[in-house]
A and B are shown apart, each in its own frame.
Chain A
Amino acid sequence: MEGARVVAISELLQIGRPLTGASSLSLRQNERRASAIFLAPSHKQKGEGAPLLGDGEPVAPLHAFRPLNIPAVLVGTLGLTGDDGSSRICSSGNHCFCFSDGSGRVCCAVLDLDMAIVGREIYVLAWNFVPISRDGGVLEVIKWSLPDQASKPGNDARPSVPLHFPRREDRSRVRSCAWGVLAAVSPVFSVPFSVQHGGFQGNARDETGDGAYLEGFIVELSTCKCDSCGKARSVKELHHCLLDQKVHSFDNPVFVYFREPCSSWRPILSKLLGDVVTVSGLKKKYISAGGLESLIFVTTERTIVHENGKPGDCGSAERSALPRKGSHVGNYCGVVTGVFKNGTVVELDRKNVWLLLAGPLLDLPHSLRVGAVITVKNVLFIRPSFPWIQILLLGSFIKTSIEVKSFSLIDSRCHSMRQRQSLLWDFIYSLPFYARFWALLVTSSFQKKFAGVLSEKEILGTKKKEGLVENYCKLSLPSSTVEHQIGAFEDFCNHDHSSFGNNSNDVPLMMVVPLSNFIGKCITIWMSTLLKMQADSEIRRENGYASHVFCEEKYHHRMTRKIMSSEELGLVLVGFLQVSPSSGRLQLVDSTGCVDVVMPDLSPNFDPRILYEVKEYTLVLDGFPLQLDPVLLRQSDPLSCRSIFQHFQVKEGTHNVMIYAHFNARNLRRLNTSIFHSVVTVDDAMGSIDADFYLLLVTHKLPHIPNFPDHSKHLNRTSAFAEAVLLPYNLIIKQKHQDFQHAEDSMQPRTTDDIPCLITFTNSTREGYLVPSNSSRKEKISSSNGKQDLQTILLEFKPESINLYQLLCIGQYYILKSSKDLRYRTEHIMSVDSAKALISSQSHLWSLDLSVGQLLLAHTARCDQLSERSSIENYGSHSSGVCESGRLFHHYADMIDKRLDAHLYLSKKENRLLNEIKLLENFLIKAHNMLGEVYSVCSLIEITSSISLPYSGISSPQGKFPEGKFPEGKLISLRGSITDVHISQPRDSDSRMAWSYKGLGDRTLCIHVCEGHHMVKVRGAFCKNVHPFGLGPGANVTFHRVLMLLNSGQYELVMIPVSCLVVNYVERLDHILHCCRNFPPLIRSSESSSDLDARIESSRMGSSRLISELIHYSDKTKVRLHCRVYGTFLLLLEDQVPKPKRLRPAQRFRIPAVRIPLAGFIIDDGSSLCCCWADSGRAKTMLQLEESACQSFSSGHGDNQTQVTVGYLLKKMLKNHRRITLRNFGAKVDSPLVDATFSVDSRKVLSPFDQDALKFVILHAQNGPNLNVAGHVLNLEELPCLEEDLSATDLVKKSMIHVWATEVTHASPLVEARNLMNELLEVVGMPEKPRTLKKKVQVRAFSV
């Protein structure tokens, strides 16, 4: 203590950084007086001495508290703001204590406040100082003492306020008193009032206007109306009465309005919450609030507040006085773990407990910061029904008070809740608590999402203009949510606050999160899915069937798909739509990140400036359960409120998951309506003059390869290519017609070759002509031989027009406006002379369909006709927007007819045109033939079995491909449903295909395509940037141009860089059903789920091995054998101490209490014999003990015959002998028990009858059914230890193979047969008879 330096306030303000100091850390409460005496002389040396912070001390961060190395005290007066005539609020806008020492004045917070020190000089012995602004700060008093304890008021008297000196004697009468438990204290607020004669003299702030404002606050007292309290005539008697041992019932609310000048007393009264107080010197006044008049007490100049202690001190007073209106109003004490939005929301205890301080009148204590322990009194407990998170929301309202119980040293930021004057805040205050909290989250989210894209004013709005957040909240919240605000008096006196937090009847509020959080959540979901699968595998001890697929004699990681709906997630996507220039994929982007989206019905003319909201979507996570990155496992919850309020960044780690959202364009909602977006229609594009179009049929899309890993620096933006057939006709579109019928009548050809036609667009019909180009004229001339080829052109899509490429469909007609871009260049591409068309962002490409001769009655019929046809041609009507049952989503291909831009109609009315139309039809048929046939799985198998490739013999028998040459095969198209996708190890034969994988991916993908019970496998490089979304189990996919090769006598389907995969639709597959896809539906439905599960379990290991083949297997190899017991050469039986459990009577003898520590069997599967070792339950299953135990066994003959069950005999035997060992040397079927010896642990001998019973058991096992034995191969050293004089090889032949059984089950003939059938079919493979296919296309793939 010696040498404690007195620090002046001015010094602290001058330093201007967080400081913490103490006179002595060992000071105890009872030493206060001594220290006070010691410190008194040094009082005069205030501000003198060595500087508080030495120059040589290391520089700490400015926001960190810096402890003073020297003992330091502050001496000054603790007062209330406004007492000395200064402003009634501090610089932060709070009503708080102040501390002044002559050199300066700062706000003050005191732990363990004694009312006696208010207005008096104190020594502050332990303190923190937090600067708020340049000339302000907060002094946090942790420990204090009075200079002279003797000067304290009389010990018998209870402390009271106001603390005017000298104290007056309270002569108030009881009728001007209010007494009871202090239940609630409101914040200080202002009310307008008109000055009447002799009325209030308020603090007139409105200098210009008619009215003045009166400042004050209300307290609620729960008073007692008992007889003894009623009999009190003076305040003194009242004190005695309250201190009396009588029971008081504090349950009548009384309100006291503390008006100026008593409004500065709020800090003291809030400290007295829960105490019994007496307020004397009051006046009764009528107030009118919310149309109701009520009588309240108002303070006067003579008002004095007396503290009467805690309710417990007042006899056995009941605690019912505490505010319990509504069951969910209460107090909460916790540690502040986060303060966000300028102190509007406070996280407590890191347990998803959130204190919402968003109220217009609330005071935020200066000391509320991270690390502080606070008690929130009179707070509403709300459980909001947010679908994405579960939190406890503490809603603060006008009665709420916050008391800081412990100051924090880990954070020094003071949060101020000023500057809330904007339309947004007014809107937020008008919401109920759950919606307020939600709106604050949305605000925070939007600020992050559009940082750098939109200005702060655009997001938050201003005092006059609504911002994006407010607009969005108003769109999302039901209109009934907004409540009208009521006055402070009415609010405070309202007894029912429960409605504030009630949102049970409302729709769940979905959350908009920054896309980085969204992606983080997706990765978290993916990781938890993998963990669950891993746990599932561990439960099943071996490879779980859910995550692995058996293919090519090995288990492979199966592609796993996780599908979630937006309702499950509870999240809304908000962002701008754009096509990623790097990946060429459609994305929803914001400032924090992007998420890939799949929109089958997207118009190519979307505006990237428009902000969209998507509420209904399907989130799909596709990937392989390859590894769990520990970095990602440690990631904090991306959807926690903390992550939304704070900056969240997805941790970088490998996750191998494709994340995308699927939705339709109608689910998009525009948020920024100010941007005018015009959709470019055909009409607009054509302009006023005649437009000339080319007619194309798209025959193939070359996959868009974003960039090559080796050349990523140079080729960031690459073009995409598609092949098309140019029909030898140009389409000239003429004037506009509104009426279809009229237009049809007016069709007149210009020349004899022109074919008049009508083109129907979305909102207009135009007349046009199909003008033959030169080539078709030639065709007409040489139609007899028909050798004229259609022109193939290559469409090159520049990166800016990549969205047009994405929407392109194979097999669809398009019209392309002729322009300079369509450059005819003779290039040798794909072995065909072709032209190249450059599609830029200015190009227009519209989908089209043609009809010849069918008269459309009216223009309006078009849409109906289109949708009708689409429902026939495609896989169900999409008009409702709901996919068929079980079908997850459609892709572009199946939605194309819904989005056709135009319809071309050719009339057959005029006979003279028939020839022209026939010629056109010939061209159309020819063009369609160039598309090639899309085979189904069945038809492909059928064709390969009957027709085969002319194999030109480039490949070598070793599977090595000569350098510089390419394999030859057929390019075919295949459509089927994918049942499994897995990554497989590249085979030897893949080495020659390595050219196709280079640069695209280092893994080989094996795709199982099924139709019914037929399956083919397609192999190819795995590159997640190239493969379309949705590729995975459950997808119906068309593989365009996959290479069919003949390799080692078997056909292979290989994806090459020109192969294009189109996902037609995706069906939702359940993992288990997915696994047992081979089961015929009848069997699946008739079997119980447990049977099914057991059979899946047995089938998951694939077909069984043959014992004769085990010799080739190394030790510890896991094998499964389908076998039966041939003989038993060793059996150890022990008496099992029965567990104390209740058995049903029928089970008593069926399951004998036998323990089998070890048993050795000889098993037979038809190919050979081997030894099988088993124990416990596995041995019992092999012995068929359960069945044999209930068999009857007879002894004696004729009249003396007795019958018992084998189970009973076994039990009796083991009771007598404890342990029985059976050894059977040279176990044979014909004489199975010739050399059997029995030994027992007891000194008795096993009777022949018992021996017969045991032999019966062994013989019974030999005639048992077939079993599935899973286990691993043992070598001779690993054989189980028997007695010293006996080894296992003495019992059996040394040449035998030994297997340790880990799992023994009864075999299911059906499952076994199916597995065996699959195995045999795989061996058989595709037929070997080669014949020629119709077409042969030589592939010259690009070497990448």
Chain B
Amino acid sequence: MGPTEDAHVKLLARELLGLAGRSASFCMAGGRAVSRAEAVGVVVAWERREKLIRFLLDDGTGCIPCVLWLNHRLLAGRPPGATAAPRQSLATWRAAPGHASRAQMGALVRVRGRLTAFRGTLQLTVGGVVAERDPNAEALHWLQCLRLARRCHGRPTPPYPINRSATGNKRKTPSEDG
């Protein structure tokens, strides 16, 4: 893949969830292939599993299902004498707890990751979570998505208000959730 395909495309939930394709190969309506994406929004649902954390990221246009793998925890906390994990994996996984800690309920975060499909549903396999302290970051993300849509994706973004997707149409505040 070339540099364009490797880039983390800034997408709104509505665009992301509307991507066509399967597995790791998706493409936008304008024809651009997308494998990685970046989204900014508020964590509105959060679920902890043994090996992963699942959460929903609401950016005002929809909710993106995200998954953050925590396998490294098992590997790092392995009993003595077990097979040694590759050093580079260790290094990667050292960062995972940090990402997990930032994906808190109600937090405004920027997530980057690979686009994957799980049981026919598109999801974002998160590679990094960055907490955004400045609320303007969300507005900037919208504008950047708009610009990318105009100048890179080959087709302008349809006018708003948008038709909210089935995955959720209303941002929940942490208090409502809790």
Contacts and interface: CB of A to CB of B under 8 A. Distances in A.
Interface of A: 1106-1109, 1122, 1126, 1164-1170, 1197, 1228-1234, 1236, 1248, 1251-1252, 1255-1256, 1259-1260, 1262-1265, 1293, 1295-1296, 1308-1310, 1312-1313, 1316-1317, 1319-1320, 1323
B144 A1168 contact: no
B144 A1251 contact: no
A526 B68 CA distance: 62
B20 interface: no
Given A1167-B152, A1248-B87, A1316-B140, A1260 B7 contact: no
A1259 B152 contact: no
A442 to B, nearest CB: 61
Which of under 10, 10 to 19, 20 to 34, or 35 or more describes the interface residues of B?
A: 35 or more
Q: Which of B7, B95, B128, B130 has the most C-beta atoms of chain A within 10 angstroms of its own C-beta?
A: B7
B143 A1233 contact: no
B173 interface: no
B88 A1255 contact: yes
Interface in B112-129: 112, 114, 127-129
Given A1170-B3, A1309-B140, 17 more contacts: A1106-B152, A1165-B7, A1166-B144, A1167-B152, A1229-B127, A1233-B92, A1234-B88, A1236-B88, A1255-B91, A1256-B91, A1263-B95, A1295-B3, A1309-B132, A1309-B134, A1309-B139, A1310-B140, A1312-B140
A1169 B6 contact: yes
26 contacts: A1108-B4, A1109-B151, A1126-B6, A1165-B7, A1166-B8, A1166-B9, A1166-B10, A1166-B148, A1168-B7, A1169-B6, A1229-B8, A1230-B127, A1231-B88, A1231-B92, A1232-B88, A1233-B88, A1251-B87, A1252-B91, A1255-B87, A1260-B95, A1263-B98, A1293-B2, A1309-B139, A1316-B143, A1319-B147, A1323-B150
Contacts of A1295: 2-3
A1320 B38 CA distance: 21
A1230 B147 contact: no
Contact of A1252 (B90, B130, B143): B90
Contact of B92 (A1122, A1126, A1232, A1251): A1232
B127 A1259 contact: no
B170 interface: no
Q: Which of B9, B10, B112 has the most C-beta atoms of chain A within 10 angstroms of its own C-beta?
A: B112
Contacts of A1320: 143, 146-147, 150
A952 B100 CA distance: 64
B94 interface: yes
A1170 B6 CA distance: 11
A38 B146 CA distance: 107
Contacts of B114: 1230
Nearest to A1248: B87
A1320 B147 CA distance: 7
Contacts of B128: 1262-1263
Q: Which of A1234, A1248, A1255, A1260 has the most C-beta atoms of chain B within 10 angstroms of its own C-beta?
A: A1255
B28 interface: no
A12 B19 CA distance: 110
A1259 B95 contact: yes
B72 interface: no
A1166 B15 CA distance: 14
A75 to B, nearest CB: 98
A622 B2 CA distance: 53
B2 A1233 contact: no
Nearest to A1233: B88
Contacts of A1265: 130
A1170 to B, nearest CB: 7
B101 interface: no
Nearest to A1252: B91
B163 interface: no
Contacts of B136: 1309-1310, 1313
Which 3 residue pairs of A and B lie closest in terms of their CB atoms, listed nearest first?
A1169-B3, A1309-B136, A1166-B10
Interface string B1-29: 01110111110000000000000000000
B36 interface: yes
Contacts of B45: none
A1262 B146 CA distance: 24
Contacts of B112: 1229
A1229 B94 CA distance: 15
Contact of A1167 (B2, B4, B127, B132): B4
Contact of B7 (A1164, A1262, A1313): A1164
A1078 to B, nearest CB: 14
Contacts of B70: none
